[in-house]
Amino acid sequence: MGRILTRIGRTQRRPIAEGSDPCAYSSIRLDLAVWHGLNSTTAAQLSDTISVVVASLVGSTGTAKMLRGACACGHIAYEIRGELFGPINYCHCWRCRKHSGSSFGTTASVLASQFFVVSGQALLSHWTSSPGVHRHFASCCGSPIYKLDETDPSVLRLRLGTLDNDPGVKVEMHFMVASKAPWVSIDDDLPQEVCGPPFGTKD
Ligand SMILES: [Zn+2]
Ligand SMILES: [Zn+2]
């Protein structure tokens, strides 16, 4: 049985990571029977179990939802077993600007229950940017990873620049544009929420 499970695990991971259709798993039934000398009934039962697991991982659309990301040096890696959701924005507030060391932050939401640090958990640190708001970052290299607001810890605000594969979403708006850095020109047609203290001041 140990050999069978090893084979199942290895077979599952490859197509999920590459976004393959779960229907491709029908070939596992043949593999199990041929490689392990199982009768067709046992092979079918195992195959059906695998199909249920795969369907739960990839969703009803058959499209793999696994997103992966990491800090700059790679010691911290995470997986998102779900989808990003809005508001997906370019935030021009002073906190996002300074915490990223860039002109603005690019952020989307993810359910905390779907966010998994798969390596380097002990290297994840945080600072409190506002009462109850914690910005988690990689102590190994400084990459900002996500923000957690104690008023709703079920949702994390993820820094999109740490992703390593395409989340399939686009930025929806500019946020806190009144705090925008003077060297930034907004040349797109995205909606702008003009709020925040002027550049160089803090609220
Ligand atoms: Zn790092
Ligand atoms: Zn911000």
pLDDT for the residue 30: 38
In the structure, what pLDDT confidence band is assigned to residue 64 with cuts at 50, 70 and 90?
low
- Cα(66) to ligand 1 centroid in Å equals 21
**Does 91 score more than 70 pLDDT?**
yes
Regarding pTM above 0.85, the answer is no
Ligand found nearest the CA of 95:
2
What's the pLDDT tens digit per position in 23-36? Answer: 333 333 334 444 45
Give the three-state DSSP class for 73: coil
Going from the C-alpha of 47 to that of each of 10, 36, 59, 123, 124, the distances in angstroms are 14, 13, 18, 39, 39
* Residue spans per domain, the chain: 2-58, 66-193
pLDDT for the residue 18: 35
- Cα(109) to ligand 2 centroid in Å equals 13
- Arithmetic mean of pLDDT over the chain: 79
- Cα(94) to ligand 2 centroid in Å equals 7
- Cα(133) to ligand 2 centroid in Å equals 11
Ligand found nearest the CA of 90:
2
Cβ contact 163:78 at 8 Å: no
pLDDT for the residue 178: 98
Under CATH, which number does the domain 66-193 receive?
Answer: 2.170.150.70
Identity of residue 156: L
Compute the average pLDDT of residues 38-63. 46
- Cα(121) to ligand 2 centroid in Å equals 24
